[in-house]
Amino acid sequence: MKAVKITKHGQPVAVQEVKKPEPGPNDALIKVEACGICRSDWHAWQGDFTWIGISPELPITPGHEFGGVIEQLGANVQSFEVGDRVTAPFHWACGHCEYCKKGETNLCLNIQVYGMAEGLEGAYAEYILVPNAEVNLIKLPENVDSVTAAAAGCRYMTGYHGVLRGKVQPGEWVAVHGAGGVGLSAIQVANAIGAQVIAVDIDDEKLEIARREGAVATVNAKTEDVPAVIHEITKGGAHVSLDALGIKATVQNSVLSLRKGGRHVQIGLTTSEEQGMVDIPVDLITMYEIEFVGSLGNPHPDYKGLLDLIASGRLNPSRLVEREVSLSDVSEVFENMNQYKTKGFNVITKFE
């Protein structure tokens, strides 16, 4: 089968012919129909995330946002059938640790990410192996196709969970910092809930897309004082502010944009510049009783609610798909991400 391989950090990827995986008794082999090219994959390609323990040996196949069809099943997998259309959360879970038993699979003690862990190859390929399939596979509703599943597979479900972690209520002011894939997803979800969303970015074209997805106001962080403008628009500050990017400026702007009693949700992981360490205004957080909340992925049990909303048409992740590409286009997309030129999701649908 054909698969993309990261062979050296920051260098063009290679499309190679590799051996098709063989499922073990607890595994499923999925024929990939669509796989999103996520900024997290870009980070892995750059060699980032070593400070959080992600440093897989190269070469490796990236890709953790996918939809496809079950081609083979291990003998112990009873809840699925060959031919089922499926997806999987990007965070693989063991199913037996204390967090998995509570349904908090995104906090699994043995968590791994497809394409970022030894022995867990990703979905920039014709096929992907999903170990421990009973825990990790999610069956798709009939009217949710594989492109939509790929679009929902990391950035969208992460934005969805972030909005839930922020306890967003109808009518509240919600600021979203970064109008890329995660940010646009959060904007769409918060708008569906009935919140008043303010989108923040440095790219006017992305801000225009944010308006299309439900933002009632936009702020260009390159030319405007973000906290001051948000306090003016909201007459006191946002109730909830989400950082979807993970750089020092967006973390700080997000916290400073809040009103008293506000809730900051940190979704974006930091870059090699911050390496997880960002100065925040602790005295302000204390005196304003601001909540600082982390948010990772979306627990497996919560996928049903997300997919039901997509199936009913209330949420539409596929509208964020910028273009469909082939395996041979991955290097170009990564280079576009270097320049922050991508506008939404790029999804692999051609495996050549």
Contact 114, 95 (CB under 8 A): no
Statement to judge: residues 110 and 9 lie in one domain: yes
HSE of 228 in the Cβ direction (CA atoms, 13 Å)?
5
Are residues 260 and 319 both part of a single domain?
no
Alpha-carbon separation of residue 224 from 176, 201, 220, 230 (angstroms) = 15, 10, 6, 10
Please spell the DSSP secondary structure of 148-183, one letter per residue.
HHHHIIIIIHHHHHHHHHTT--TT-EEEEE--SHHH
From first CA to last CA, the distance across the chain in angstroms is: 10
The whole-angstrom distance between residue 230's C-alpha and the CA centroid of its chain comes to: 25
Judgement on whether residues 254 and 223 belong to the same structural domain of the protein: yes
Say yes or no: 12 and 137 in one domain.
yes
Question: Which pLDDT value is given to residue 52?
Answer: 79
| Domain end point (choices 251, 267, 294) | 294
pTM for the model: 0.94
CATH of residue 277 = 3.40.50.720
Are 185 and 155 a contacting pair, CB within 8 Å?
Answer: yes
Question: Which residue in the block uniquely carries the two structure tokens 């492109």?
Answer: 147
Of 279, 294, 309, the position where a domain reaches its end is 294
Residue 36 has pLDDT above 90, yes or no: yes
Instruction: CATH number of the domain at 317, please.
Output: 3.90.180.10
On the question of pLDDT at 309 being above 90, the answer is yes
162 in any annotated domain: no
Residue 210 belongs to some domain of the structure: yes
Distance separating alpha carbons of residues 229 and 220, to the nearest angstrom: 10
Q: Would you call the peptide bond into 59 cis, given omega within 30 degrees of 0 as the criterion?
A: yes
Per-residue model confidence as pLDDT tens digits over 64-87:
999 999 999 999 999 999 999 999
Number of domains in the chain: 2
pLDDT for 178 equals: 96
Cα–Cα distance, 181 to 158 (Å, whole number): 10
CA angle 238, 239, 244 (to 5 degrees): 70
pLDDT band at 49 (very low <50, low <70, confident <90, very high): confident
Statement to judge: residues 280 and 326 lie in one domain: no
Name the β-bridge partners of 291.
263
Q: Which domain holds residue 81?
A: 2-154+298-350
Q: Is residue 209 assigned to a domain?
A: yes
User: What's the pLDDT band for 98 if we cut at 50, 70, 90?
Assistant: very high
Rounded to an integer, what distance in angstroms lies between the CA atom of residue 252 and that of residue 246?
10
Let me know if residue 188 belongs to a domain.
Answer: yes
Element (H, E) at 31: strand 28-36
Is the Cβ–Cβ distance between 346 and 155 less than 8 Å? no
- Res. 228 pLDDT band, cuts 50 70 90: very high
Phi, psi at 320, each rounded to 5°? -90, 0
Note whether 194 and 335 are same-domain residues. Answer: no
Residue 185 pLDDT > 90: yes
pLDDT value at position 193?
Answer: 96
Do 7 and 149 belong to one domain? yes
Instruction: Classify 212 as helix, strand or coil.
Output: helix
If asked whether residues 221 and 242 sit together in one domain, one would say yes
On whether residue 315 sits in a domain, the answer given is yes
Q: How far apart are CA 271 and CA 257, in angstroms?
A: 22
Does residue 161 belong to any structural domain of this protein?
Answer: no
Q: What is d(CA 19, CA 253) in angstroms, rounded to the nearest whole number? A: 47
- Do residue 97 and residue 198 come from a single domain? no
* 149 and 174 in a common domain: no
328 to 2, 12, 124: CA distances (angstroms):
10, 10, 10
